[in-house]
Amino acid sequence: MSKYFKEYFKLLKFTKSHLGLLGLASACMLVSTLFEGVSLGMIVPLADRILTNKKIVVPGGVPKFLQDLVDWLNNTDSMLVLKYIAVFMICVFFLKGIFIYLQGYFMNVMGQSVVRDVRNKLYAKFQSLSLSFYSKQRTGELMARVTNDVLTLTNALSYALTDLIYEGMRLCFLGTIAIYLALKISWKMSFFAFIIFPAIMIPVVRIGKRIKNFSKLMQEKMADLNTLLSETIQGMQIVKAFCREDYELERFKKINYNYYKFSVKMSKRILVLSPLTEFVGVCGAVTVLWLVGREVITGSLSFGVFGLFLGSLLSMMRPIKKISNVHAINLQALVSSERIYSVLDRDEIIREIDNPKVFNGVSNGIEFNEVWFKYVPSDDYVLKAVSFKVPKGNITALVGHSGAGKTTIVGLLPRFYDLAKGSIRIDGTDIKDFSLKSLRSSIAIVSQDMVLFNSTIRQNIEYGKSGATDEEIISAAKKANAYDFIMSLPKKFDSVIGDKGFCLSGGEKQRLSIARAILKDAPILILDEATSQLDSQSEQLVQDALYSLMKNKTVFVIAHRLSTVQKADEILVIDSGSIIEKGRHDELIAKNGMYKKLYDIQFKS
């Protein structure tokens, strides 16, 4: 149980910024609980003075103010008591209704505020985590954190927390009445109240362990569903091209059935809690009726006081049932909380030093000095002792077989990842000493992945420079040879291109990526297969624009087609994470090494 409370208090930390709302709601709950106790106390005069017109008989030793109230009721005319009770009950239930509404409103606002804040925190965390984190995570898994897991928190921190506080107050209040009367009436009732009723929670705790296990399995299956949906929707063209619709449908059905199976198992255990606690409670109430009923028959206890005692016991059934359901909801939420904290507590962040320098461009050059790198600490090194220098304004090309480490090398320059050993310096300053924003703002990247967003062409190009004017956007589009196809679209620059540019051809998408980099006009330019999707005519036009853009910039070019790197100031031949050759095109051809072999393979015809 100590672990449960520790995890639950960690879950409640999400409410820390909204303690004011929680306090207001709790105050309203306390008032409505007191009103409920007062209304329950009306059973005594209603049963004794009005329905049976007898004197109220209470156990000895009650507080003086209660004894005075009983004496006043016993000495007042029954009709007058009826009038007082009628007016009093209307006022009590009216005020109780207002406070119940307010407590529900405050708790709902707090719950929704918490959900909003948690989603914001998760998304902010996603922005701060390094790319190595995403290389080990499924997209659907991360989506489930923001959608399904956070939604589970809503139930726990709004509805369940409301029931926990409100029903907990009612249980304490009613329990106090029941125990007090039990102590005054009979030691047997005291034993019953202290021992038997708390035993109701034993099956609740035992069943709760199974509920938590099934909840964890359900969350995992929901993440599997999100992952499958994300993969198949994004890859629908491949699914249809290979006629794999039936295969993907069977995969979905299998995962969906597993989710359904665990959901049913958990539902059975949640549903059994309510009738189980109710049955135990009724058994207790019958026992009370049997034992205390004799006191009423003998006249040593009035029917109204007995009704208050029995009513308080029976009224405790609803709070107990509610709290048992709260326990089930909390167990599900604890699983979601663990999954959310597994992201929020991650330390895979590219950190800045205190008071970092502002990077303002390259004055002399860039130097990779004995750089070693691995994506996962337990894996082998992807890069091994990579060292080279790039003077300002030079074009450096990286060539080699797929998987040699070319993209990894250029990905280290904007600090998408941190090195295992070695250093990368610009003008003698380690890139770790620069602020991330100033460093990355000075690097433009055109990737072979062509990452575009489901928005307008204008917004996708403007991503390179926030607040760019129409003239700057149009100029960038022209330089990237994208202007003509943009103007042929019905809405031109305001055309929505769909998810990942679904409405565009591969060449059109790549030209938009190039236009975005041109608009950024950064002093360092990284071209990772930047022209791989262009036809020969478009490639030549874009190459001319890129070479014009490269003037007075330090450029890294990755290309499989060696015709695109022949003008580079230096070519680095990468193999298995190491540089095995360096030089200009003519020098490498003369060396008759790997570069010469790659060149001969491409141009042997």
315: in domain = yes
Same domain? 206 vs 332:
yes
Same domain? 463 vs 333:
no
Same domain? 494 vs 563:
yes
Cα of 43 vs its chain's centroid, Å: 49
* Per-residue pLDDT at 208: 63
Same domain? 497 vs 587:
yes
Same domain? 282 vs 398:
no
Give the Cα separation of 340 and 511 in Å (integer): 38
238: in domain = yes
Q: Which of 12-16, 46-50, 70-74, 570-574 has the highest mean pLDDT?
A: 570-574
Give the Cα separation of 481 and 515 in Å (integer): 8
CATH number at residue 548: 3.40.50.300
Q: How confident is the model at residue 298 (pLDDT cuts 50, 70, 90)?
A: low
Mean pLDDT (whole number) for 544-573 = 78
User: Can you tell me which residue has the tokens 């009513």?
Assistant: 311
292: in domain = yes
* Per-residue pLDDT at 504: 77
Q: How confident is the model at residue 368 (pLDDT cuts 50, 70, 90)?
A: very high
354: in domain = no
Q: Which amino acid is at 159?
A: Y
Same domain? 339 vs 458:
no
Same domain? 148 vs 248:
yes
Between residues 243 and 408, the one the model is more confident about: 408
163: in domain = yes
Flag whether the pTM goes above 0.85.
Answer: no
Give the Cα separation of 549 and 566 in Å (integer): 17
Cα of 25 vs its chain's centroid, Å: 26
Tens of pLDDT, residues 132-161: 777 777 777 778 788 778 877 777 877 778
Give the Cα separation of 461 and 516 in Å (integer): 4
Same domain? 563 vs 471:
yes
Q: What is the DSSP string of 243-263?
A: T-HHHHHHHHHHHHHHHHHHH
Of all residues in the chain, the percent with pLDDT exceeding 90 is 3
**Residue 385 region, left (φ>0) first, then alpha (ψ -120 to 50), else beta?**
left
Q: Is the predicted pLDDT of residue 365 greater than 70, yes or no? A: yes
Tens of pLDDT, residues 498-548: 766 667 777 777 788 888 888 888 889 888 876 665 666 666 666 766 776
Same domain? 468 vs 338:
no
Mean pLDDT (whole number) for 568-572 = 88
Number of domains in the chain: 2
458: in domain = yes
Q: What is the DSSP string of 339-408?
A: HHHHHHT---B-PPPSSPBPP---SSEEEEEEEEE-SSTTSPPSEEEEEEEEETT-EEEEE-STTSSHHH
Q: Is the predicted pLDDT of residue 37 greater than 70, yes or no? A: yes
Give the Cα separation of 374 and 379 in Å (integer): 7
* Per-residue pLDDT at 184: 66
Same domain? 78 vs 9:
yes
Same domain? 401 vs 282:
no
Among 55-69, 388-402, 556-570, the range scoring the smallest mean pLDDT is: 55-69
Q: Domain limits at 257?
A: 2-344
560: in domain = yes
* Per-residue pLDDT at 193: 57
CATH number at residue 118: 1.20.1560.10
Q: Is the predicted pLDDT of residue 575 greater than 60, yes or no? A: yes
Give the Cα separation of 227 and 241 in Å (integer): 21
Q: What is the DSSP string of 179-197?
A: HHHHHHH-HHHHHIIIIIG
* Per-residue pLDDT at 457: 83
Q: What is the CA radius of gyration of the chain?
A: 36
Same domain? 336 vs 401:
no
426: in domain = no
